[in-house]
Structure 1
Amino acid sequence: MRYFEDIEVGSTEEFGEYHVTKAEITEFAEQYDPQPFHTDEDAASESAFGELVASGWHTAAMSMRLLVDNYLGDQAGMGGRSADELRWERPVTPGETLSLRLEVVDKHCSESDPQRGYVDNYIEVVNQDDEVVLSYIVTGMIERRKSDE
């Protein structure tokens, strides 16, 4: 288990492989973001995108899946605190494969809870061509190691 004390500012990781399907794009959009360029290929072809694209919120959800499966599972995580500077850099289309790059950019102890620390991670989600499709900074709450004193 990785605790707050085990996480180093400046450390980087790259991981994951998430295959995006047309069915998943339309299913997510029909439930959460039913704009025509996410749900209908014909309408999408007439949109500014020119083709069916994933909702940005779907892309963010896929990035969360990559984080949970490849990074957060061995952390003493206590949940998220914030997400800042969210940028949808380019649309995600059916058939793309996404992966994630992460850099720990800051960390500090909680002033109100001595057992909690905050870790800021800069996230980039990239496609199979190494093009950034989504970027953001997420602050996670991480349990601090209990002292034996």
Structure 2
Amino acid sequence: MRPTLPVKNHPANRIFLGLPPPFLCLLIAPLKAALAALRRLTDYGQIQALAGLFGQGCTAGVNVVSITPNGGVKPCAMMPVVVDNVRRRPFSEIWLRNPLLNKLRDRSNVKGWCASCRFVTECGGRRSRAYAYFGDLFASDPNCAKAPVNHG
């Protein structure tokens, strides 16, 4: 079971920590700082606005990022792509101004069959699979369950 820490009193706004307990205690101080930064963003409505952009599907960079133990910020834990580092720049600045994170939030950047799929707004395709298979974060999801129905 992963511990859940509320960011705001809304069921969709949770931070999930997928670390086993021995490692979790090592993150308490940085986690408190990250939560304080998230609360400041939430106070300005920025997290809430982004959380409501899409129904479901891939949330990489949209309302989720992964922060590595050395501070690297990745759009998704499954991606080898690091967009910045919280040790060099405040998380709030990375979240709001990083060009790749902002590009991931715009579903019109998705290419291939995903771009013409009627579910692109809700789904957007899994960006980590697109990157693993095609080397392009914005390529079609090669393992899309709906592709045979919609595209052939």
Identify the structure with the greater strand proportion: 1
The structure, 1 or 2, with the larger RCO (C-alpha pairs under 8 Å, 6+ apart) is 1
Identify the structure with the greater helix proportion: 2
Q: Identify the TM-score tier after normalising by the shorter chain.
A: under 0.3
Q: Give the TM-score normalised by structure 2.
A: 0.26
